[in-house]
Amino acid sequence: MLSRFFIFYIVTLLTGSPLFALLVILGLYLAIDYQFTGVLRRGVQIFKMESEISELRREVALNPHNAAALSDLGRLLVMRGKARDALPILERAYERLSDTEETTYYLGLASLATGRKAEGERLVLKALEKNPKFRYGEPALRLAEHYARTGRPDEAQTSFDRFFAIHSSSPEGYYKFGQFQLQTGNRAGAAESFRKAIEIFKLSPSFKKRQDRLWAYKARFHLLTASGAR
Protein backbone atom coordinates (compact mmCIF):
# COMPACT_ATOMS: atom_id res chain seq x y z
CA MET A 1 0.00 0.00 0.00
CA LEU A 2 2.81 2.41 0.95
CA SER A 3 4.72 1.57 -2.23
CA ARG A 4 1.66 2.43 -4.35
CA PHE A 5 1.24 5.73 -2.54
CA PHE A 6 4.95 6.46 -3.02
CA ILE A 7 4.69 5.79 -6.77
CA PHE A 8 1.64 8.05 -6.97
CA TYR A 9 3.50 10.75 -5.00
CA ILE A 10 6.57 10.59 -7.28
CA VAL A 11 4.49 10.67 -10.48
CA THR A 12 2.48 13.60 -9.10
CA LEU A 13 5.71 15.50 -8.43
CA LEU A 14 6.90 14.78 -11.97
CA THR A 15 3.64 15.70 -13.68
CA GLY A 16 2.49 18.47 -11.35
CA SER A 17 -1.07 17.13 -11.38
CA PRO A 18 -2.66 14.36 -9.26
CA LEU A 19 -5.24 13.71 -11.99
CA PHE A 20 -2.60 13.43 -14.70
CA ALA A 21 -0.53 11.20 -12.40
CA LEU A 22 -3.50 8.84 -12.04
CA LEU A 23 -3.91 8.73 -15.83
CA VAL A 24 -0.19 8.00 -16.29
CA ILE A 25 -0.24 5.19 -13.71
CA LEU A 26 -3.41 3.74 -15.23
CA GLY A 27 -1.85 3.86 -18.69
CA LEU A 28 1.29 2.10 -17.45
CA TYR A 29 -0.80 -0.56 -15.72
CA LEU A 30 -2.85 -1.19 -18.86
CA ALA A 31 0.30 -1.42 -20.99
CA ILE A 32 1.96 -3.89 -18.59
CA ASP A 33 -1.23 -5.92 -18.27
CA TYR A 34 -1.68 -6.06 -22.05
CA GLN A 35 1.90 -7.14 -22.69
CA PHE A 36 2.62 -9.39 -19.71
CA THR A 37 -0.08 -10.39 -17.21
CA GLY A 38 -3.34 -10.29 -19.16
CA VAL A 39 -5.46 -10.06 -15.99
CA LEU A 40 -7.64 -7.28 -17.36
CA ARG A 41 -7.90 -8.99 -20.74
CA ARG A 42 -9.04 -12.23 -19.13
CA GLY A 43 -11.54 -10.31 -17.03
CA VAL A 44 -12.98 -8.70 -20.16
CA GLN A 45 -13.14 -12.10 -21.88
CA ILE A 46 -15.00 -13.62 -18.94
CA PHE A 47 -17.45 -10.70 -18.89
CA LYS A 48 -18.10 -11.08 -22.63
CA MET A 49 -18.53 -14.83 -22.25
CA GLU A 50 -21.04 -14.42 -19.42
CA SER A 51 -22.95 -11.87 -21.51
CA GLU A 52 -23.07 -14.34 -24.41
CA ILE A 53 -24.26 -17.09 -22.07
CA SER A 54 -27.10 -14.90 -20.79
CA GLU A 55 -28.11 -13.97 -24.33
CA LEU A 56 -28.04 -17.60 -25.48
CA ARG A 57 -30.10 -18.69 -22.48
CA ARG A 58 -32.77 -16.19 -23.51
CA GLU A 59 -32.61 -17.39 -27.10
CA VAL A 60 -32.95 -21.04 -26.07
CA ALA A 61 -35.86 -20.18 -23.77
CA LEU A 62 -37.66 -18.61 -26.73
CA ASN A 63 -36.74 -21.40 -29.15
CA PRO A 64 -35.83 -24.65 -27.34
CA HIS A 65 -35.22 -26.41 -30.68
CA ASN A 66 -32.47 -24.06 -31.86
CA ALA A 67 -29.66 -26.62 -32.01
CA ALA A 68 -26.97 -24.08 -32.96
CA ALA A 69 -27.82 -21.89 -29.96
CA LEU A 70 -27.88 -24.94 -27.68
CA SER A 71 -24.46 -26.00 -28.95
CA ASP A 72 -22.97 -22.52 -28.49
CA LEU A 73 -24.44 -22.26 -24.99
CA GLY A 74 -23.08 -25.66 -24.01
CA ARG A 75 -19.64 -24.84 -25.43
CA LEU A 76 -19.41 -21.59 -23.45
CA LEU A 77 -20.55 -23.28 -20.25
CA VAL A 78 -17.84 -25.93 -20.66
CA MET A 79 -15.27 -23.19 -21.24
CA ARG A 80 -16.43 -21.49 -18.03
CA GLY A 81 -15.97 -24.73 -16.09
CA LYS A 82 -19.70 -25.44 -15.76
CA ALA A 83 -19.73 -28.90 -17.32
CA ARG A 84 -22.64 -30.16 -15.23
CA ASP A 85 -24.85 -27.34 -16.50
CA ALA A 86 -23.57 -27.82 -20.04
CA LEU A 87 -24.16 -31.57 -20.27
CA PRO A 88 -27.98 -31.69 -20.75
CA ILE A 89 -27.82 -28.70 -23.10
CA LEU A 90 -25.17 -30.31 -25.29
CA GLU A 91 -27.06 -33.60 -25.28
CA ARG A 92 -30.06 -31.79 -26.75
CA ALA A 93 -27.86 -30.11 -29.35
CA TYR A 94 -26.17 -33.40 -30.22
CA GLU A 95 -29.51 -34.94 -31.21
CA ARG A 96 -29.43 -32.70 -34.29
CA LEU A 97 -25.73 -31.92 -34.62
CA SER A 98 -24.09 -35.30 -34.08
CA ASP A 99 -22.18 -34.86 -37.34
CA THR A 100 -20.38 -31.68 -36.22
CA GLU A 101 -17.03 -31.97 -34.49
CA GLU A 102 -17.59 -28.94 -32.25
CA THR A 103 -20.77 -30.21 -30.59
CA THR A 104 -19.33 -33.72 -30.37
CA TYR A 105 -16.10 -32.46 -28.81
CA TYR A 106 -17.68 -30.26 -26.15
CA LEU A 107 -20.22 -32.94 -25.25
CA GLY A 108 -17.24 -35.26 -24.82
CA LEU A 109 -15.47 -32.76 -22.54
CA ALA A 110 -18.63 -32.27 -20.48
CA SER A 111 -19.00 -36.04 -20.17
CA LEU A 112 -15.40 -36.46 -19.02
CA ALA A 113 -15.75 -33.65 -16.49
CA THR A 114 -18.90 -35.19 -14.99
CA GLY A 115 -17.47 -38.69 -14.60
CA ARG A 116 -18.87 -40.31 -17.73
CA LYS A 117 -15.42 -41.41 -18.82
CA ALA A 118 -16.17 -44.04 -21.47
CA GLU A 119 -18.74 -41.84 -23.22
CA GLY A 120 -16.49 -38.79 -23.00
CA GLU A 121 -13.51 -40.63 -24.47
CA ARG A 122 -15.63 -41.98 -27.31
CA LEU A 123 -17.00 -38.55 -28.20
CA VAL A 124 -13.70 -36.66 -28.02
CA LEU A 125 -12.06 -39.37 -30.13
CA LYS A 126 -14.94 -39.17 -32.61
CA ALA A 127 -14.44 -35.41 -32.97
CA LEU A 128 -10.71 -35.92 -33.46
CA GLU A 129 -11.19 -38.59 -36.10
CA LYS A 130 -13.79 -36.51 -37.91
CA ASN A 131 -11.42 -33.56 -38.18
CA PRO A 132 -7.87 -34.09 -36.82
CA LYS A 133 -7.06 -30.38 -37.28
CA PHE A 134 -10.08 -29.15 -35.32
CA ARG A 135 -8.83 -26.50 -32.87
CA TYR A 136 -5.26 -27.39 -33.90
CA GLY A 137 -5.57 -30.91 -32.52
CA GLU A 138 -6.85 -29.84 -29.10
CA PRO A 139 -9.03 -32.97 -28.68
CA ALA A 140 -5.86 -35.11 -28.79
CA LEU A 141 -4.27 -32.96 -26.07
CA ARG A 142 -7.34 -33.19 -23.84
CA LEU A 143 -7.43 -36.97 -24.29
CA ALA A 144 -3.73 -37.14 -23.39
CA GLU A 145 -4.38 -35.17 -20.20
CA HIS A 146 -7.32 -37.42 -19.34
CA TYR A 147 -5.37 -40.63 -19.90
CA ALA A 148 -2.47 -39.29 -17.83
CA ARG A 149 -4.83 -38.39 -14.96
CA THR A 150 -6.45 -41.82 -15.02
CA GLY A 151 -3.19 -43.79 -14.97
CA ARG A 152 -3.05 -44.90 -18.61
CA PRO A 153 0.43 -43.81 -19.70
CA ASP A 154 0.56 -45.74 -22.99
CA GLU A 155 -2.66 -44.16 -24.23
CA ALA A 156 -1.51 -40.76 -22.95
CA GLN A 157 1.77 -41.07 -24.87
CA THR A 158 -0.10 -42.04 -28.05
CA SER A 159 -2.41 -39.04 -27.71
CA PHE A 160 0.48 -36.65 -27.04
CA ASP A 161 2.25 -38.00 -30.14
CA ARG A 162 -0.93 -37.49 -32.13
CA PHE A 163 -1.27 -33.93 -30.87
CA PHE A 164 2.32 -32.97 -31.71
CA ALA A 165 1.92 -34.46 -35.19
CA ILE A 166 -0.83 -31.87 -35.73
CA HIS A 167 0.48 -28.95 -33.67
CA SER A 168 4.22 -29.02 -33.00
CA SER A 169 4.55 -25.43 -31.74
CA SER A 170 2.34 -25.40 -28.65
CA PRO A 171 3.88 -24.21 -25.35
CA GLU A 172 0.82 -25.58 -23.55
CA GLY A 173 1.31 -28.97 -25.19
CA TYR A 174 4.99 -29.22 -24.29
CA TYR A 175 4.37 -28.01 -20.74
CA LYS A 176 1.71 -30.66 -20.21
CA PHE A 177 3.85 -33.30 -21.87
CA GLY A 178 6.61 -32.35 -19.45
CA GLN A 179 4.23 -32.83 -16.54
CA PHE A 180 3.31 -36.25 -17.90
CA GLN A 181 6.98 -37.19 -18.21
CA LEU A 182 7.57 -36.17 -14.60
CA GLN A 183 4.63 -38.35 -13.64
CA THR A 184 6.23 -41.34 -15.38
CA GLY A 185 9.65 -40.68 -13.85
CA ASN A 186 11.35 -39.32 -16.97
CA ARG A 187 12.93 -36.20 -15.43
CA ALA A 188 15.36 -35.62 -18.30
CA GLY A 189 12.57 -35.83 -20.85
CA ALA A 190 10.42 -33.51 -18.74
CA ALA A 191 13.20 -30.91 -18.56
CA GLU A 192 13.60 -31.07 -22.34
CA SER A 193 9.85 -30.57 -22.83
CA PHE A 194 9.82 -27.57 -20.48
CA ARG A 195 12.78 -26.08 -22.39
CA LYS A 196 10.92 -26.67 -25.64
CA ALA A 197 7.85 -24.83 -24.30
CA ILE A 198 10.03 -21.84 -23.33
CA GLU A 199 11.90 -21.87 -26.64
CA ILE A 200 8.69 -21.91 -28.69
CA PHE A 201 7.29 -19.09 -26.57
CA LYS A 202 10.38 -16.93 -27.16
CA LEU A 203 10.12 -17.40 -30.93
CA SER A 204 6.38 -16.70 -31.06
CA PRO A 205 4.88 -13.47 -32.42
CA SER A 206 3.57 -10.96 -29.88
CA PHE A 207 -0.08 -12.00 -30.08
CA LYS A 208 0.85 -15.64 -29.42
CA LYS A 209 3.09 -14.65 -26.53
CA ARG A 210 0.14 -12.96 -24.86
CA GLN A 211 -1.85 -16.19 -25.22
CA ASP A 212 0.90 -18.57 -24.13
CA ARG A 213 2.75 -16.57 -21.47
CA LEU A 214 1.20 -18.55 -18.60
CA TRP A 215 2.46 -21.87 -20.01
CA ALA A 216 5.96 -20.45 -20.49
CA TYR A 217 6.01 -19.18 -16.90
CA LYS A 218 4.84 -22.56 -15.61
CA ALA A 219 7.42 -24.38 -17.74
CA ARG A 220 10.20 -22.11 -16.45
CA PHE A 221 9.12 -22.70 -12.84
CA HIS A 222 9.01 -26.48 -13.27
CA LEU A 223 12.35 -26.45 -15.06
CA LEU A 224 13.96 -24.55 -12.16
CA THR A 225 12.32 -26.91 -9.66
CA ALA A 226 13.51 -29.98 -11.55
CA SER A 227 17.03 -28.56 -11.81
CA GLY A 228 17.09 -27.75 -8.10
CA ALA A 229 15.97 -31.27 -7.20
CA ARG A 230 18.98 -32.89 -8.88
Q: How many CB atoms lie within 10 A of CB 61?
A: 9
Residue-level pLDDT at 93: 98
Residue-level pLDDT at 209: 86
Q: Is 221 exposed, middle or buried (0-12, 13-18, 19+ CB in 10 A)?
A: exposed
What residues have CB less than 8 Å from 150, skipping those under 6 apart?
117
- Domain range list for the chain: 47-131, 133-230
Q: Is the pTM of this model over 0.75?
A: yes
User: CA-CA distance, 106 to 94, in Å (whole number)?
Assistant: 10
User: CA-CA distance, 223 to 190, in Å (whole number)?
Assistant: 8
User: CA-CA distance, 180 to 74, in Å (whole number)?
Assistant: 29
Residue-level pLDDT at 27: 61
Residue whose C-alpha is closest to residue 213's, from 167, 169, 168, 171: 171
pLDDT (tens digit per residue) in 84-118:
999 999 999 999 999 999 999 999 999 999 999 99
Architecture of the domain delimited by 133-230: Alpha Horseshoe (1.25)
* Fold matches, 47-131 and 133-230: yes
Instruction: Judge contact between 194 and 219, C-beta under 8 A.
Output: yes
* Residue 14: C-alpha distances to residues 3, 26, 30, 98, 148 (Å): 17, 15, 20, 63, 55
Domain 47-131 sits in CATH at: 1.25.40.10
DSSP 3-49: HHHHHHHHHHHHHS-HHHHHHHHHHHHHHHIIIII-HHHHHHHHHHH
User: CA-CA distance, 199 to 163, in Å (whole number)?
Assistant: 18
Q: One digit per residue, pLDDT tens: the chain, 230 residues?
A: 445 555 655 656 666 666 665 665 566 655 554 555 555 566 677 789 999 999 999 999 999 999 999 999 999 999 999 999 999 999 999 999 999 999 999 999 999 999 999 999 999 999 999 999 999 999 999 999 999 999 999 999 999 999 999 999 999 999 999 999 999 999 999 999 999 999 999 999 888 888 898 899 999 998 887 655 55
Residues 197-219, buried b or exposed e (16+ Cβ, 10 A)? Answer: bbebbeebeeeebbebbbbbbbb
Q: Percentage of residues in the chain with pLDDT exceeding 70?
A: 79
